[in-house]
Structure formats: structure tokens, C-alpha cells
Amino acid sequence: MFNLILFGPPGSGKGTQSDKLVAKYGLVHLSTGNLLREEIAQKTPLGVEARSFMDKGQLVPDEVVIGMVDSYFDKHKGSKGFLFDGFPRTVAQAKALDSLLELKKTEIAAVLALEVGEEELVKRLLNRGKTSGRSDDTNEEVIRKRFSVYINETTPVAEHYKKAKKFQAIKGEGSVDEIFQAVSDAIDKKMKE
Ligand code: B4P
């Protein structure tokens, strides 16, 4: 299996690049943001709980997210690999993912981190908010809150993978195609190792 984590702050282009990467490499796309939004759309109890956190720019509790990832993983047994998008977002989630992969006798091949400046991120998210209907993208205060949550809770995840020598930063500003090329080059190199 080849398992990849696409890492980066809100609006850095994880979702945008993931769509292209799953088409190119045939990996299963595991986006916790998309899974949570599906639960919200279906008004499940998990969705109702998740929405109360997401609307405020906070992270959904670890146990909810980890349970969701576990069952998605089981539903896609036998795949050639996973592209984790927006997960893990806390060190507890990263440790849970390590244990899950160990149990399945596989591991993370690489963590590719998209680096984008904060003002560009705000611009992208407010822009997406005009058309996406996403309540977490329309209010600048909520967007700034998501950045502070990212700095406090998610950047330690980068350290976790730096220690394991799996972390690689990639410039996330430029055209979607330029960034896709840089990410693809990094993956191709990893696949040859
Ligand atoms: P996510 O759904 O993961 O989304 P995101 O971080 O907001 O955006 P992403 O980086 O995917 O950006 P995109 O490509 O769409 O999270 C949403 C919320 O769900 C979180 O705040 C949290 O509450 C909850 N959640 C999710 N996972 C969780 C977890 N593991 N634990 C706890 N809570 C969790 O790009 C953004 C915009 O930029 C788009 O409009 C795009 O068109 C544009 N864009 C992309 N690339 C561009 C480029 N190169 N140039 C210009 N614009 C670009």
C-alpha cells in the first residue's frame, strides 16, 4: 500500500489537489472534512454534533473523527493506498492513525505539506464562501479562529512526522497545475524509494 497525508492550513488547497491526485494515482480519498459535511447534510446525530464545532471554526472531537476514519478504512479494505486529506489534525489523531496502520501492517509513506501565507488563505476561503454555502467560510472571524486552532492543535502534528522523517514542505502558492506538478514529483520520488 502507498499511504499519503496531504497537510496544510485551512484553504491551502488540500481538497483541490486531492481530487487531482486520486485521479492520477488511484488512491482512496479520505477527507474528514467531506465525511463530516456528508453527515451534516444527512442530519445524522454525528453530523448535528460536528456542525456545532465546525460552525465556530473549532475541531470536531478526536473520538468522533477517529471512529469515522476507522469505519471508512474498513469499508475500503484491499485498496492500493489512501490519501489522507485534512486528517490527522491533532497529535492524538496522528497516534491513532499510526496504530490503525500498524494493525493493518502498513504505514505512511510521506506527509506533503502545502505552505501558503495567511492573507492568501483568508482571500481563498472568503472567495469559496461566496459560492460553496459553507457556513465556516463566510465569516472572517471564524476563518481566523480556524487558523489559530491550526497553529495550536495541528502544527504539532508536523513535528510528529518530522521526527519520523516523513515530512516534506511544498510551496502551495501559484497555479493549481504548478502545485500539482510539485506534489506529483514528490510522490513519484517516494514511490521509487
Ligand atoms: P476541511 O474540509 O478539511 O477543509 P479546509 O481545511 O477548509 O480546506 P482545504 O485545504 O481542503 O482547501 P481547498 O482545496 O478546498 O475542514 C473543514 C472543517 O472540518 C475544519 O475546520 C474542522 O472543523 C472540521 N474537520 C475536518 N477534519 C477534521 C479532523 N481531522 N479533526 C477535527 N475536525 C476536522 O481550497 C480552498 C479554496 O482555495 C478553494 O476555493 C479553492 O478553489 C481555492 N484554491 C485552491 N488552490 C488554489 C490555488 N493554487 N490558487 C488559488 N486558489 C486556490
Do β-strands 3-7 and 82-85 pair in parallel, antiparallel, or remain unpaired?
Answer: parallel
Test site for ligand 1: of 17, 29, 36, most ligand atoms within 8 A of the Cβ: 36
| Beta strands 82-85; 108-115: pairing state | unpaired
pLDDT at 147 over 90: yes
Q: Kindly state the average pLDDT of the residues 132-145.
A: 90
Q: Return the ligand 1 atom nearest residue 87 CA.
A: 30
Identify the residues whose C-beta falls under 6 Å from ligand 1: 8, 10-16, 32-33, 36, 53-54, 59-60, 65, 86-87, 89, 93, 124, 127-128, 136, 146, 176, 179
Percent of the chain predicted with pLDDT > 90: 95
pLDDT tens per residue across span 85-133: 999 999 999 999 999 999 989 999 999 999 999 999 999 999 999 998 8
How much is the average pLDDT of 168-172? 98
C-alpha cell at 103: 494493525
Band the pLDDT of 70: cuts 50, 70, 90. very high
Q: List the catalytic residues.
A: 14, 89, 128, 134, 146
Tell me, in angstroms, the distance from the centre of ligand 1 to residue 15's CA. Answer: 6
Residue 17: band (very low, low, confident or very high) from pLDDT cuts 50, 70, 90: very high
Q: Which three cell numbers stand for residue 172?
A: 502551495
